């Protein structure tokens, strides 16, 4: 059967695998019709399981691939395993041996079950099993204590396993479980203290537990398409914002039957006690916050947009849906990058976010621009590689196709260097675009490409020490929520860096080096405040309908003690 070669069989090697082995590559992407034809002819080449240095493996868009062999257990350094858009019907138990695995994506396959050995993946933070035929999730997921995102949408799941509500899952922030047959949501959902995004649309729920309102960080919920007993609540979930729904649940809803009055009164008494505890805790936290010296406080002020012509707007073209569909943007004013190493510190912080929270740009990509160099409105588009023209950072104008060829050549030259196994710089992100017919880009009103995620920005709009107003974009092929979370983290980091610059009064000397000017008086032209102003940017569809605005009321809700967000 196609896709079912054993690890012990001998067969002619594939050039892609030979190249990865000879160059000691850490990433390998196999996808599309050419790979599918090879699998159809002789199955997935088992030599792939000998590439033990791999930390990123993607095999996708191959309908002939129906099985992954147990030899996968030999790839012990894997951090990301992407097996989406195939016809895989089983996942081997050996996947539990991948102790370093952080991202597992087996979406759009033919899976009916998942192995219990998934619970052995202690480093797993992202699990995507959407668009399969799965009937239930394996028990033991609570042992995956670093889980942040679970996507189980478009399956045949009827219930959540009990341990999904475990307090051990203290990092679980996103659950997407739309289009299943889930009949009940337990009140124990409140134990998920980090939950921000919950999508249970188009299931078979009849009730929503009041306890959901106790999820303090909850930003977005979706219960559309469920036939709820409480018709007022059903109407609310189909038309109201998250806050209104949570307020309704927090108030206890309505329509309690007489036969349940005693039990309900006991519940209300218990809820009142819990509510008092939460109120006392909030008051204590507020007191602690008020005691923070004003001189240490970071301030971020949010400016709300209107529908006027002066509002910053980014239109999203229909073509990006199949390439990199998610984007959030904002404008940041008040950032002082002139003194000393302020710009260098900011760029270093951005790189760290890319490596950590953005999963080396596989989950999301940040781009920052000098606002004054942009021509509005902007378009988020997807174009063929040969037609996408950009002036990359520190390079001459080129097409995206030529740029990737040049970067690939440079990467190969790096690998030829003695003792060099990895590649650095932009070269390490090349595999993210493998197999894409069109590449994503942000284009200004003069049809100049200012951004080519996840590879590079344009030299024409790059940040400089003189930049005082920034346009910031975060794009992702994973989810809108990851875009928002990354943007939240970036703005908090910008506030911290701006406060550091303001407090330490760095100077620039003629030799270009900087000192902390502890005895120097600030010049009149220097910043008088570290306050940042974040102005909303509207992202709209081709017809001008609003898709997302950032920051919304539910964004920028950081628990950083000395950060004050003024809306």
Distance CA(203)–CA(305), nearest Å, equals 35
**43 neighbors 67 (Cβ within 8 angstroms):** no
Same-domain status, 315 and 187: no
Residue 79 lies in a domain: yes
Using left for φ > 0, alpha for ψ between -120 and 50, and beta otherwise, residue 53 falls in alpha
Tell me what pLDDT residue 263 has.
Answer: 45
**329 neighbors 491 (Cβ within 8 angstroms):** no
Distance CA(368)–CA(360), nearest Å, equals 17
Same-domain status, 147 and 20: no
Same-domain status, 331 and 242: no
Distance CA(93)–CA(138), nearest Å, equals 12
Distance CA(47)–CA(58), nearest Å, equals 15
Residue 334's domain spans which residues?
295-416+436-510+523-566
Same-domain status, 154 and 90: no
Distance CA(199)–CA(177), nearest Å, equals 6
Same-domain status, 484 and 363: yes
Tokens in use for 160? 């959540």
Residue 97 lies in a domain: yes
Give me the residues paired with residue 326 across strands: 476
Looking up residue 542, the CATH number of its domain turns out to be: 3.50.40.10
Same-domain status, 495 and 347: yes
Count of C-beta atoms within a 10 Å radius of residue 171:
15
Which residue bears the tokens 């081997």?
92
Give me the residues paired with residue 329 across strands: 473
Domain boundary, last residue among 51, 76, 104? 104
**481 neighbors 469 (Cβ within 8 angstroms):** no
Give the pairing type, strands 126-128 and 80-82.
unpaired
Residue 263 lies in a domain: no
Q: Report the predicted TM-score, pTM, of the whole model to 2 decimal places.
A: 0.57
Residue 274 lies in a domain: no
Same-domain status, 163 and 27: no
36: preceding bond cis by omega (within 30 degrees): no
Residuewise pLDDT in 10s, the chain (567 residues): 444 444 433 457 899 899 889 888 888 889 888 899 999 998 999 999 999 999 889 998 899 999 999 999 999 999 999 999 899 999 999 999 999 999 999 999 999 999 999 999 999 999 999 999 999 999 889 899 999 999 999 999 999 988 888 888 989 999 999 999 999 999 899 999 899 999 999 999 999 999 999 998 898 899 999 999 999 998 888 887 888 899 889 887 643 433 333 444 554 555 565 555 555 655 555 554 454 445 567 888 888 876 666 689 999 999 999 899 999 999 999 999 999 899 999 999 999 888 888 877 888 999 999 999 999 999 999 999 999 999 998 899 999 999 988 888 887 777 676 444 444 455 566 677 777 889 999 999 999 999 999 999 999 999 999 999 999 999 998 888 889 989 999 999 999 999 888 887 765 444 344 444 433 334 434 556 889 999 999 999 999 888 999 998 888 887 676 778 888
Residue 340 lies in a domain: yes
Residue 543 lies in a domain: yes
Same-domain status, 99 and 130: no
Which candidate, 342, 292, 299, 289, places its Cα nearest to that of 526?
342
Tokens in use for 359? 């999963």
Cα 391 versus chain centre, distance: 27
Residue 443 lies in a domain: yes
Residue 282: how many CA atoms within 13 Å on its side-chain side? Answer: 7
**441 neighbors 451 (Cβ within 8 angstroms):** yes
Same-domain status, 408 and 443: yes
Tell me what pLDDT residue 252 has.
Answer: 78
**469 neighbors 370 (Cβ within 8 angstroms):** yes
Domain boundary, last residue among 104, 119, 139? 104
Q: Number of folded domains in the chain?
A: 3
Distance CA(21)–CA(19), nearest Å, equals 5
Looking up residue 100, the CATH number of its domain turns out to be: 3.80.10.10
Same-domain status, 214 and 349: no
Query: Can you list the positions of beta strands (E) in 268-396?
Result: 298-303, 313-316, 326-333, 365-370, 378-383, 389-390
Residue 452 phi/psi, 5-degree rounding, is -130, 80
Domain boundary, last residue among 104, 132, 152? 104
Same-domain status, 548 and 480: yes
Question: Which residues, at least 6 apart from 500, have a Cβ–Cβ distance to it below 8 Å?
Answer: 345
Same-domain status, 384 and 488: yes
Tokens in use for 313? 């707007």
226: preceding bond cis by omega (within 30 degrees): no
Residue 187 lies in a domain: yes
């Amino acid at each position: 059967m196609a896709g079912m070669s054993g690890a012990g069989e001998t067969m002619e090697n594939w050039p892609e695998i030979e190249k990865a082995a000879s160059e000691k590559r850490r990433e390998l992407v196999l996808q599309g019709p050419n790979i599918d034809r090879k699998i159809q002819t002789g199955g997935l080449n088992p030599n792939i399981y000998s590439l033990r240095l791999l930390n990123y493996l993607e095999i996708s868009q191959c309908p002939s691939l129906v099985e992954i062999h147990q030899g996968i257990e030999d790839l012990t350094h894997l951090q990301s395993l992407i097996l989406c858009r195939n016809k895989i019907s089983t996942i081997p138990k050996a996947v539990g041996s991948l102790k370093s695995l952080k991202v597992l994506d087996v979406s759009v396959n033919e899976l009916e079950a998942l192995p219990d050995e998934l619970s052995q993946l202690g480093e797993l933070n992202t699990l995507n099993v959407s668009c399969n035929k799965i009937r239930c999730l394996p028990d033991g997921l609570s042992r995956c204590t670093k889980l942040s995102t679970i996507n189980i949408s478009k399956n045949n799941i009827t219930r959540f396993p009990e341990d999904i509500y475990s307090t051990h899952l203290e990092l679980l922030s996103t659950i997407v479980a739309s289009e299943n047959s889930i009949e009940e949501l337990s009140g124990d959902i409140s134990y998920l203290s980090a939950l921000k995004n919950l999508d249970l649309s188009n299931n078979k729920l009849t009730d929503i537990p009041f306890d959901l309102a106790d999820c303090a960080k909850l930003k977005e919920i979706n219960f559309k398409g469920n036939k709820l007993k409480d018709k007022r609540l059903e109407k609310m979930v189909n038309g109201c914002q998250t806050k209104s729904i949570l307020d309704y649940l927090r108030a206890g809803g309505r329509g309690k039957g007489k036969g349940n009055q005693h039990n309900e009164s006991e519940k209300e008494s218990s809820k009142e006690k819990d509510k008092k505890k939460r109120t006392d805790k909030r008051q204590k936290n507020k007191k602690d916050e008020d005691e923070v010296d004003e001189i240490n406080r970071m301030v971020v002020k949010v400016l709300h947009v209107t529908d006027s012509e002066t509002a910053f707007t980014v239109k999203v073209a229909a073509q990006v849906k199949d390439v990199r569909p998610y984007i959030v943007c904002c404008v940041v004013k008040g950032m002082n990058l002139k003194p000393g190493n302020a710009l260098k510190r900011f760029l270093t912080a951005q790189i760290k976010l890319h490596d950590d929270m953005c999963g080396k740009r596989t989950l999301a990509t940040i781009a920052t621009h000098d606002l004054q160099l942009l021509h509005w409105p902007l378009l988020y588009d997807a174009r063929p590689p040969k037609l996408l023209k950009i002036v990359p950072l520190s390079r001459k104008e080129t097409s995206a196709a030529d740029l990737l060829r040049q970067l690939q050549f440079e990467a190969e030259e790096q690998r030829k260097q003695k003792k060099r196994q990895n590649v650095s710089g932009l070269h390490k992100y090349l595999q993210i675009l493998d197999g894409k017919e069109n590449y994503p880009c942000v284009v200004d009103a003069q049809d100049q490409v200012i951004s080519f995620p996840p590879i590079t920005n344009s030299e024409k709009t790059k940040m400089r020490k003189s930049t005082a107003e920034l346009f910031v974009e975060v794009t992702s092929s994973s989810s809108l929520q990851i875009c928002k979370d990354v943007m939240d983290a970036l703005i908090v980091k910008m506030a911290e860096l701006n406060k550091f610059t303001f407090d330490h009064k760095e100077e620039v000397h003629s030799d270009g080096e900087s000192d902390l000017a502890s005895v120097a008086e600030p010049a009149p032209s220097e910043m008088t405040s570290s306050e940042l102003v974040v102005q909303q940017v509207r992202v709209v569809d081709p017809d001008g309908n609003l898709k997302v605005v950032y920051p919304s009321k539910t964004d920028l809700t950081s628990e950083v003690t000395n950060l004050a967000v003024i809306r």
